[in-house]
Structure 1
Amino acid sequence: MTCVYNFTLPGLEGGSIDLGTYRGKPILLVNTASLCGFTPQYEGLQALWTQFNKAGLVIVGIPSDDFGHQEPGSAHEIATFCQRNYGVTFPMAARCHVKGGEAIPLFKWLDSQLGILARPRWNFFKYLTNRQGMPATWFSSLTPPTAWRVRHAVEQVLQAD
């Protein structure tokens, strides 16, 4: 059975992010962009990472230039921007396509699991998986990572077996 742990992403600063290394941990996947009105959500993502990482939550940022050409920079520029402006320490993938025919396999799988309503329609869509590596829920760009709904969902998957 396919689950989130079967996917590997190219790393922003080289190498790769093998999601299988996080087996048994919930993962919050977020398609990100540096020049978006939702970009300040990096701050909330970092706060979630700081608060829940020791409890097992993994956050992976996946930069994408698919919406409004809002992630045009090089890998180095993206990494520098995230670290300098938001102190991002959670794993970041290299820039990837997250929609349409060019979408990376991870996002094609999320689409097959969650359906048309969960397809990213802009930057900062969030996908939370459970400890079995299956999608638990998703949030649109309009729901900040600091929202009660997000925090509650994270707490629920962390408490579940």
Structure 2
Amino acid sequence: MSESLLDLSARRPDGSALPLAEFRGKVLLVVNTASRCGFTPQYAGLEALQRRYADRGFTVLAFPCNGFAGQEPGDDAAIANFCSTTYDVTFPILAKIEVNGTGADPIFRHLKHAAPGALGTEAIKWNFTKFLIGRDGRVAGRYAPATAPEKLSADIERLLAEPG
């Protein structure tokens, strides 16, 4: 398994590859998202973090997932439209993926292995699980779905203060 998330690629909604190496030297917050979840209002908090820290080298990466109670049923275009019109999201909304099971996206397999959850489980328990990634591409923290984005500010500040 890769030691750095930056060795992997995501898929944009248009199907093209987004090499995560493009984010080398940045602090990332990777989140599995859904448009019809009780945590969906966290998009506002994620966007607030994006706007607060973007000019310092921070980016949120959202990975929509329909794996939890069918809470992300739309296609990539519908998801992007929802995020833009409802929450004025400016960070990347990537192509819909799976985060658990045999079809789990390699990015989430990497994240879960690098930062297991409670009791060492690697499974993602619900939408809006968050992974904070340092400038070196290594996982610096995993946060539960109920953790509000604004609660991550101190950890983001700490990583932004580290040399790239």
Query: TM-score, normalized by length of structure 2?
Result: 0.92
Q: Who is 2:76 aligned against?
A: 75
Q: Is the 8 A contact 2:13 2:96 kept in 1?
A: yes
Q: Who is 1:134 aligned against?
A: 138
**How is 1:2-151 mapped onto 2 (pairs within 5 angstroms)?**
2-117=3-118, 119-147=123-151, 150-151=152-153
C-alpha separation in 2, matches of 1:39 and 1:119: 20
Q: Which moves more between the two structures, 9-18 or 59-68?
A: 9-18
SS in 2 for 1:54: helix
Percent identical residues: 36
**Structure 1 residue 40: Cα displacement:** 0.3
**Structure 1 residue 16: Cα displacement:** 2.7
C-alpha separation in 2, matches of 1:77 and 1:155: 33
C-alpha separation in 2, matches of 1:9 and 1:28: 14
Query: TM-score, normalized by length of structure 1?
Result: 0.94
**Structure 1 residue 85: Cα displacement:** 0.1
Aligned length: 159
C-alpha separation in 2, matches of 1:143 and 1:109: 21
**Structure 1 residue 24: Cα displacement:** 1.1
Q: Who is 1:158 aligned against?
A: 160
C-alpha separation in 2, matches of 1:26 and 1:138: 14
C-alpha separation in 1, matches of 2:45 and 2:30: 14
Q: CA RMSD in A?
A: 1.2
* Poorly superposed stretches of 4+, deviation over 4 Å: none
Match of 2:124, as an amino acid? P
